[in-house]
Amino acid sequence: MNIFVSPDAGRALLGRYSDLLDTWPVPAERLTVPTTLGDTFVQASGPPNAPPVILVHGAMANSLSWFGDIAAWSRNHRVYAVDIPGEAGLSVQVRPPITDYPGWLGEVMTGLGHESAAVVGLSLGGWISTGFAIRNPGRVERLALICPAGFGKVRSGILLLALLLLAAGQRKRSQKLILGADLSGTGWFGEFHEWINRDFKPRRDNLPIYPDSDLARLSMPMLVIAGDRDALINGPQTARRVRAIIPKADMRLLPGVGHLITGQTATIGAFLDS
């Protein structure tokens, strides 16, 4: 499967990704974890014997999503930033059925030598992390979710319009529609995101909503952060379901915030440290 617009475009994008990983703000070890989906790339930071934390990014992204968080979170934890297979990272370029991904995350955790860990998931990564935690609640010590799919409905009309804009070359309009923000003033991060929008083929998976009975199995400490103006995933619905089904969870619905949620490094770090 070619998940890039061309093989040359994919090689160039991943070469730039590797260069940016070289600027990772803390010392890191690059690991490859074999799974049934194929090899998974992991960037590991922090003291090797510290409590483990696994980070799972969103769609059309990679481990650079955590660039601004890693210095703080890796002070007291061994943090593993994982590239999702089939996304714009260094893991295997395959896209199996979406339901295979929660099991894949368990294989990654085992391959890293951990029976359990704290997990932080963003958007698609939140859906994967939630699915893994539902199936294996004893393996997830803490679960932090940022604008996660699986709780509130994905606004399919907005998603379709964004994909059409992307196909028409109107990348900035598509980005602003989905994220609710313009990344053009964010330096290399915005430039690299623009590159992904240009040369990467977005996935079109329908992310199922987890039923109440599944979510009720999430007994571990949980932090859920969503935006009340998220154009892609219904943030208010996410908040209502979390509060009704998982009342012990710390649910934070941020006013005036879309799908791009920033400035949560300290909040999630305090959660991981508690």
CATH number at residue 250: 3.40.50.1820
| Range of the structural domain that residue 130 is part of | 7-154+208-273
Domain count, the chain: 1
Would the pLDDT of 170 be above 80? no
Question: pTM of the entire structure?
Answer: 0.93
pLDDT of residue 184: 67
Q: In the chain, pLDDT over 90 holds for what percent of residues?
A: 79
What does the radius of gyration of the chain's CA atoms come to, in whole angstroms? 17
Would the pLDDT of 66 be above 80? yes
38-42, 187-191, 235-239, range with the lowest pLDDT: 187-191
b/e sequence 85-112, b meaning 16+ C-beta within 10 Å: bbbbbbbbbebbebeebbbbbbebbeeb
* Cα separation, 44 vs 74, whole angstroms: 9
Indicate whether 105 belongs to any domain: yes
Cα 189 from chain centroid (whole Å): 16
Average pLDDT over every residue of 217-242: 96
* Cα separation, 139 vs 71, whole angstroms: 25
pLDDT, tens digit, 9 for 90 and up, residues 74-121: 999 999 999 999 999 999 999 999 999 999 999 999 999 999 999 999
Indicate whether 44 belongs to any domain: yes
pLDDT interval class at 205 (50, 70, 90): confident
Indicate whether 177 belongs to any domain: no
Question: If you search the block for the tokens 């964010």, which residue do you land on?
Answer: 186
pLDDT of residue 125: 98
In sequence order, what DSSP letters do the residues of the chain get, joined into one string?
A: ---BSSHHHHHHHHHHHHHHHTT-SS-EEEEEEEETTEEEEEEEES-TTSPEEEEE--TT--GGGGTTTHHHHTSSSEEEEEPPTTSSSSS------GGGHHHHHHHHHHHTT-S-EEEEEETHHHHHHHHHHHH-GGGEEEEEEES-BTTB-B-HHHHHHHHHHHHTT-HHHHHHHHHSS--TTSTHHHHHHHHHHHHB-------PPPPHHHHTT--S-EEEEEETT-SSB-HHHHHHHHHHH-TTSEEEEETT--S---S-HHHHHHHHH-
Indicate whether 163 belongs to any domain: no
pLDDT, tens digit, 9 for 90 and up, residues 115-169: 999 999 999 999 999 999 999 999 999 999 999 999 998 866 665 655 665 666 6
Indicate whether 88 belongs to any domain: yes
Q: In the chain, pLDDT over 70 holds for what percent of residues?
A: 88
Indicate whether 65 belongs to any domain: yes
pLDDT of residue 187: 84
Cα 144 from chain centroid (whole Å): 11
Average pLDDT over every residue of 11-27: 97
Alpha-carbon torsion angle 127, 128, 129, 130, nearest 10: 50
More confident residue, 256 or 162: 256
* CB contact set of 239 (below 8 Å; sequence gap of 6+): 224, 226, 228, 251, 253
Average pLDDT over every residue of 250-268: 95
Average pLDDT over every residue of 176-198: 77
Indicate whether 226 belongs to any domain: yes
Would the pLDDT of 181 be above 90? no
Indicate the average pLDDT of the chain: 92
Average pLDDT over every residue of 213-239: 96
71-85, 152-166, 193-207, 241-255, range with the lowest pLDDT: 152-166
Indicate whether 96 belongs to any domain: yes
